Structure 1
Amino acid sequence: MSYAMSLDPMTHASGSTSFLSWVTSLVHEHRGQLLAYARRRGLDAEDALDAVQDSFTSFLTLPEARALAREREDAIKMLTVILRHHVMNRRSKQVRHGRARILLEAQASQAKGEDHDALVAHAEELARVQGCIVRMAKLQRNVVMLSLLDEQPHEEVAKILGISPGYVRVLVHRAREHIRLCSYIDETL
């Protein structure tokens, strides 16, 4: 049976498929490619799977989903666009959770009686470093996020971003130098 015919939701029993079979064919056809895409964008396996599932759910709610699914290239293009948005949302959520964790740690430190001035200085330093990271080029920013903040090994970062491990090391070194100089300049202003 051809791809288009296997995804045709209007056919029935003898040489046909039900809606559930149509969805199953769609998922089986594209899930591997979409999971690989999500992993290359820095999501761990569990988050990648969740993002792909959310993407299929979003795709199936589109009024034109059945028509799009009949054409393999159209389906994967639309699913990839939807997945890209889900990946960005998950990465933003991770950043927000990281900030919340820092605030909770600061509150815990304050509850333990640590110096208020030290906490303020630490928060200012974090804000300064974040400002420096935002000013980096996109590739270097991605290397910093994956390597330094998410603590992924250089080899994994290289696979995710499609660059060599040596280039990852160079970008990490340059990023550290950039942050050091950027923080120094911000302090002197």
Structure 2
Amino acid sequence: MEDASTLTPSPEGELAGCIAASSPGQALEAEARLYRLLAPRVRRYGLRHLRDADAASDLMQHVMVLVIERLRSGDVREPQRIVSFVLGACRMTVLEMRSRQARREALLEQHGELLAIADIAVEPRHDHERVAACLERLSERERSVILMSFYEERPAEDVAGTLGLSPGNVRVIRPPRHRAAARLRRRGEERGMSAHLEFDGLLAYWLGETDEASTSAIDEHLLGCDACGAQLDELIALARGVREALAAGLIGAFVAPAFVAALAQRGAKVREYRVPPGASVACGVAPGDDVLVARYPARLEGLQRVDAVVQTSLDAAERRLEDIPFDAASGEVVWLARLALVRTLPAHRIHVRLLAGERVIGRYTLDHSV
């Protein structure tokens, strides 16, 4: 094992050493700087492992109070290894938070003033209207993969299984080096340092695809690396932008039935219409609706590709949507409408044809009223 005395001190280690060597409460500037360095990293850990922003903030507060308290009291035996101490504190606290609601109240009551010693950087955000505009420029399949991957933060295997794709296809579509996701994420120049994590690895980590050993290694790396943490922040911001765009009714996409069920489970008010082949169904949208869905039953077994041809009474021109994603096992194609756009339209009729090659496998009509 490497002797701690031979390690090159990290900025975190130097600050921790300064706090530990000072009388309690006499190294406030060092405490503030350490807080600024470590608090965002702890919150990222919480977002990854707890999947809840409020819980991640609770974790950040609890761990940072604990870390500074232990440094003040001299209970951290190797201050230069403070990042490892923080990682252990994060792991233990997450285990506790999962088994029962946090026991942080006593620490906050006793040491809550520590939380005011420093502000941390504001997380990046992506404007959801711009995210929606970028999604609209993607192909039908690309848009569906991005939506289902980032809205629910689902691994490639889950998304692939509900869209008739292979996990490899999903991974090809979603990484930022591929043109589909590259349009969605504004990236600066690559820093080019081999010590940094590859973005594909960060994405797999965030979506829960890494094994236990890899996840643990990335956890530790992120607690000591702000450059990689900033990349993860961009991923988190993109996921938030996708959710906000969908909540605003700005995204239209073909999705799996399971995705609609997940929206309902999250509390969305879903209005849906099942349109039998050859039938005409009256439809509309109410003020309280969050999601508008059309279901088109069809015989999809054995099909590798389906196109949809759409024509409305508002525009005589037909629009062919190529290679739409579908779940053959469900026996239906599911369309999630751009609700914000639908609310602005007058009464009209929508004709839809599903094609396998040039063979029609279903004709459907929706009569939209206002």
- Which TM-score band (shorter chain)? 0.3 to 0.5
**Larger fraction in strand:** 2
Q: Comparing both chains, which one has the higher relative contact order based on Cα–Cα distances under 8 Å and sequence gaps of 6 or more?
A: 1
TM-score by length of 1: 0.41
Which TM-score applies when normalising by structure 2? 0.23
Could you say which structure has the higher helix fraction? Answer: 1
